[in-house]
Structure formats: structure tokens, C-alpha cells
């Protein structure tokens, strides 16, 4: 079995790479940080008896995405599972003070990047009349919260795409699922606050956030249901977070 994980250099994607490797899947891992991809490949291939292919590209660039997928050999193109995970939030500002470059970064990565790779990989899956696409949405794709505007909009778009790609791919035997997490402690908040680690730490202060492994385990469970079962959608939250905005801090 082969799984392609976008954004495997960190957080949820990296944890998922470990879990699927441990369970004998061959991996195609992507991201922009080439050294991290190479280190991860070496570690996974050494620890588990699997093969890992690295594809270094910026998912916002449709040509780079196409070149990367075209560079796979015919065996690697037999992708069983695509995890659409690469994504980010940039900033946390009101609509009237948001930065346009933040908006573009989020829209280009979370929506357009997901579309570019899904279009290419779904066509490969159609050729084999099977496959599974697992989209990483967010609680921000189910609810809006103050100053989350454009990030919430991109994740609402992922929610809509998850539903509509399931319809389009139904005749081709392709499963489509999504998982929508609340707070997971990864590099997410460091990226959102542009390297301000103190501010990022405060997001998780006084709570026990989800760990990337919690999400990886849930993705793995979704991916390993019997052939006739599809998990459409899961919302997964830390115990101390009731919804986007109601958080119990100790
Ligand atoms: P991380 O910042 O730890 O990981 C994000 C990954 O996405 C990295 O591997 C990064 O790789 C990749 N990525 C980002 N931008 C690009 C790009 N332009 N091209 C290619 N790859 C890119 O965050 P998480 O693990 O938390 O995030 C993973 C997903 O989970 C995201 O879609 C996020 O929205 C979602 N999510 C996160 C939650 C959280 O609280 N952490 C909660 C709900 C959903 P590189 O930098 O090497 O390119
Ligand atoms: C990440 C979770 O609540 O920071 O998608 O938007 S949240």
C-alpha cells in the first residue's frame, strides 16, 4: 500500500508518516523543507522496512505540484491514500485589519494547493478504480471565531470540497473522508504568529491540547475501515475545548 502525505515535515503529517510506516505502508512525503524530508526518509526507511519517496515542492504552485506528481514512476503512481494535510493559518486579525499577503497565503495553500494535488492524484486513483482521500479540515471549518475570518473560510471551503469530491468520485470507487481537529500542539501557532514562540505557547497554556499522534491514530483508523465502510467526517477536540471558543484553562 502507498500513501501520499502532504506537509509531512512537521506536526500531524509527520506523525502520520511514522504511524503508516510502522504499519508497513510505503510513503510519498511532501513539503518545502528539503532537509527535513531527507532526514525523515532516512529515519523511516531505517526503522521500518518500507520505501519512502520525497517530493519537495510548494503546494501553492500548480506547475511544481504537477512536475512532482509526474516525476513518480508507474509503481509510485499507484497511490492508495492521499492525505491532504499541508496547510496553515497566517495571522489572527479582524477583517478590517487583516494582511492581504496572509489571506493569499492561506487561500493559496489550504484551498488552491489542496485542489491542485487532488485533481492529479484523483485521476491516478480513477485509473485504478480505488483510492481514499482524507482531507484535514479543522473545527475552524465548522464554526467561525473572532479574527479567524479567512482561515475559517479556507477550512469551510475544505469542508465543502470534502462533501463535493465524495459525490464526484463516487462512481470511481474512491472514498473521501475528513477529519476536523480542535487545538493540536504542532508548529501551527508558531507559523500563525510568524515565529513568535511565546505567543504560540500561550495558545495551549493551561489546557491539554491534542497531540499530532492523536490525529495520526484517527487518520489511521479512518484509512483501515472495511472496504464497504467510509467515514465521511470526524470532529475531534481536546477534552478541555468544547468548541472553537469555549476553552477551560486551569
Ligand atoms: P504544522 O505547521 O506543524 O505543519 C504544516 C505542514 O504543512 C508542514 O509540513 C509544512 O511543510 C506544510 N506546508 C505548509 N505550507 C506549505 C506549502 N506552501 N507547500 C507545501 N507544504 C506546505 O501544522 P499542523 O500539523 O498543525 O497542520 C497540518 C494541518 O492540520 C493543516 O492543514 C492545519 O490547518 C490543520 N489543523 C491544525 C490544527 C492545529 O491546531 N494544529 C487544528 C486543525 C487543523 P513545509 O513548511 O516544509 O512546506
Ligand atoms: C486549527 C484550530 O482553533 O486554531 O485549525 O483554528 S484553530
Closest Cα to atom 4, ligand 2: which residue?
A: 183
Strands, E, within the chain: which ranges? Answer: 2-5, 26-31, 52-56, 81-84, 131-136, 174-181, 233-236
Mean pLDDT, the chain, whole residue set: 98
Ligand 1 binding site (Cβ under 6 Å of any ligand atom): 7-13, 31-33, 58-60, 85-88, 109, 136, 138, 181, 183-184, 186-188, 191
91-133 pLDDT, tens digit per residue, is 999 999 999 999 999 999 999 999 999 999 999 999 999 999 9
141-155 pLDDT, tens digit per residue, is 999 999 999 999 999
Distance CA 110, CA 97 (A): 21
In this prediction, residues 8-15 reach a mean pLDDT of: 98
pTM here is 0.98
Query: Which active-site residues does the annotation give?
Result: 151
Q: Is the CB of 244 under 6 A from ligand 2?
A: yes
- CB atoms near residue 75 (< 10 Å): 10
**Which ligand 1 atom sits nearest the alpha carbon of residue 158?**
32
Predicted pLDDT at 8: 98
DSSP string, 27-51: EEEEES-HHHHHHHHHHHHHHSS--
37-76 pLDDT, tens digit per residue, is 999 999 999 999 999 999 999 999 999 999 999 999 999 9
Q: Ligand 2 centroid vs 74 CA: distance in angstroms?
A: 37
Amino acid at each position: 500500500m502507498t500513501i501520499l502525505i502532504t506537509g509531512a515535515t512537521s506536526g500531524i503529517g509527520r506523525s502520520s508518516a511514522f504511524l503508516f510506516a510502522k504499519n508497513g505502508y510505503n510513503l510519498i512525503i511532501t513539503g518545502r523543507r528539503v532537509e527535513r524530508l531527507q532526514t525523515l526518509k532516512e529515519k523511516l526507511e531505517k526503522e521500518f522496512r518500507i520505501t519512502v519517496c520525497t517530493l519537495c515542492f510548494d503546494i501553492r504552485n500548480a506547475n511544481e505540484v504537477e512536475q512532482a506528481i509526474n516525476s513518480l514512476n508507474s509503481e509510485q503512481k499507484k497511490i492508495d491514500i492521499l492525505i491532504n494535510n499541508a496547510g496553515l493559518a497566517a495571522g489572527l486579525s479582524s477583517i478590517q485589519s487583516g494582511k492581504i499577503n496572509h489571506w493569499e497565503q492561506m487561500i493559496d495553500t489550504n484551498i488552491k494547493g489542496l485542489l491542485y494535488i487532488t485533481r492529479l492524484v484523483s485521476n491516478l486513483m480513477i485509473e485504478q478504480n480505488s483510492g481514499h482521500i482524507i482531507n484535514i479540515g479543522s473545527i475552524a471549518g465548522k464554526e467561525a471565531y473572532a479574527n479567524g475570518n479567512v482561515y475559517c473560510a479556507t477550512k469551510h471551503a475544505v469542508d465543502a470540497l470534502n462533501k463535493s469530491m465524495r459525490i464526484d468520485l463516487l462512481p470511481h470507487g474512491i472514498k473521501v473522508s475528513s477529519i476536523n481537529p480542535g487545538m493540536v500542539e504542532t508548529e501551527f501557532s508558531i507559523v500563525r504568529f510568524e515565529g513568535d514562540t511565546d505567543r504560540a505557547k500561550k495558545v495551549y497554556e493551561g489546557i491539554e491540547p491534542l497531540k499530532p499522534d492523536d490525529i495520526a491514530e484517527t487518520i489511521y483508523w479512518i484509512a483501515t475501515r472495511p472496504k464497504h465502510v467510509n467515514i465521511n467526517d470526524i470532529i475531534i477536540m481536546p477534552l478541555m475545548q468544547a468548541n472553537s471558543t469555549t476553552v477551560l484553562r486551569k
